[in-house]
Amino acid sequence: MQSCPFPNMTFRGFIAVEFDAKPLAQVLKELGAVDGRLKCVEPRNIHMTLKFLGDTKEEHVPRIQEVMETAVEGIQPFDVALKSLGAFPNTGYIKVVWVGLENAEALGEMSKRLNTALKDIGYRPEKKPFRPHITLARVKSIRDKRGLVSILDSNQNTEFATQHVERIVLKQSQLTPNGPIYTDLVKANLPQNVNSD
Among 83, 113, 133, 171, the one annotated catalytic = 133
- Any catalytic annotation for residue 164? no
Q: DSSP letters of the chain? A: -PPPSSTTSEEEEEEEEE---GGGHHHHHHHHTSSEEEEEPPGGG-EEEEEEEEEEEGGGHHHHHHHHHHHTTT---EEEEEEEEEEEEETTEEEEEEEEEES-HHHHHHHHHHHHHHGGGTPPPP-SPP--EEEEEEEEEES-HHHHHHHHHHTTT-EEEEEEE-EEEEEEEE--TT--EEEEEEEEEPPS-TT--
- Any catalytic annotation for residue 133? yes
Among 47, 60, 113, 187, the one annotated catalytic = 47
Please identify every residue annotated as catalytic.
Answer: 47, 133
